[in-house]
Amino acid sequence: MRIAVVLPAHNEAEHLRTCLRSFVEQSRQPDQLIIVNDNSTDQTQSIAQEFAAEHTFIELIEHQSSAEHQPGAKVIQAFNKGKEHLKACDLLGKFDADLILPSDYFQKMEELFKKEKRLGLAGGLLFVQKGTDWVYENIAKKDHVRGPIKLYRKEALEAIGGLAQSRGWDSVDRWQIEFAGFTTKTLQDLQVKHLRPTGAGYTAQRISEKGKVLGRMRFDPLLGALACLKTARHSSSNPLSLLCQFGRMYSGYWKGFFGSDHLVTRAQGHFIRGQRWKGVWQALTSKQH
């Protein structure tokens, strides 16, 4: 199988060299690695040029995105820019530039996709450094393929019409792929080091936007409330702060729910709600046992 990876990079000089070295040291290198330098003002461009000059499978593309802050949208715009330069491929990855991959990452991914013919999306697990240890970055279930390490069967990505240029794209893609008849999977023995952990603190605006995504994904009101409460509990242990965060997020949910810019179709929304409620039921029954 031919494997291509697009690596959007904006001011990633701190970690880019380490990240690219882990790509070079793969037992099975990608056939094409496209670095999309998106308006960087640090040494990102020069580091990418250095690696592209030394390794024929690495390419550097310049992208001048909007200066406007667009969470979710900007990274997918850069990803789409990279896709314009793809050669033929069977598997297409969207990876971040602050990772250290285990040396057998793509070897094991290729074996998995060859074995499971309807697998549409796969990845490893992200780990962050705590003192001298590397621990699981526990902000998502271990069956969820995280945004920094998405590897798609190209056929599945085409079936969903590409990735949404919006916050929440890295949750929507999973449900759309499963709705289209493909499966998703994580290989839990593939531990990827995440050098810049996902921020735990959210501004009021970001909390509201996270809630809005749930509404745009057509969660029903009870599912939306449960998801907002879970996120608020993860973000704060102080009862008053938790209540405030829940309120902001659930208010954002209703804006998305009644808005006109839903991220999924009605049929996809029905499927997502069914899958989410199935997960809630499984969690409840497992606790009872």
Q: Using one digit for the tens of pLDDT, what is the confidence trace for 76-118?
A: 999 999 999 999 999 999 999 999 999 999 999 999 999 999 9
Residue scoring higher pLDDT (229 or 182): 182
Which domains are assigned to the chain?
A: 3-194 (3.90.550.10), 204-288 (no CATH)
C-alpha span between 38 and 260 (Å, rounded): 30
Distance CA(22)–CA(63), nearest Å, equals 24
Residue 106, C-beta contacts closer than 8 angstroms, at least 6 positions apart: 3, 26, 27, 28, 29, 30
- Does the pLDDT at position 286 exceed 60? yes
**Residue 176: is its pLDDT beyond 70?**
yes
Nearest-CA neighbor of 251 among 208, 193, 191, 203? Answer: 208
What's the pLDDT score for residue 72?
Answer: 77
DSSP state of 197: P
Question: In a 3-state reduction of DSSP, which class is residue 91?
Answer: strand
The tokens for 100 are 């250290």
Query: How far is 79 from 72, CA to CA, in rounded Å?
Result: 11
Q: Per this entry, what is the length of the chain? A: 289
277 pairs with which residues across the strands? none
64 confidence band (pLDDT: 50, 70, 90): confident
CA distance between the termini of the chain: 43
Decide if pLDDT at 14 tops 50.
Answer: yes
Which CA distances in Å does 15 have to 10, 65, 264?
11, 21, 35
Instruction: Look over the chain and give the mean of its residue pLDDT values, rounded to a whole number.
Output: 92
pLDDT band at 247 (very low <50, low <70, confident <90, very high): very high
Beta-bridge mates of residue 259: none
What does the pLDDT read at residue 232? 82
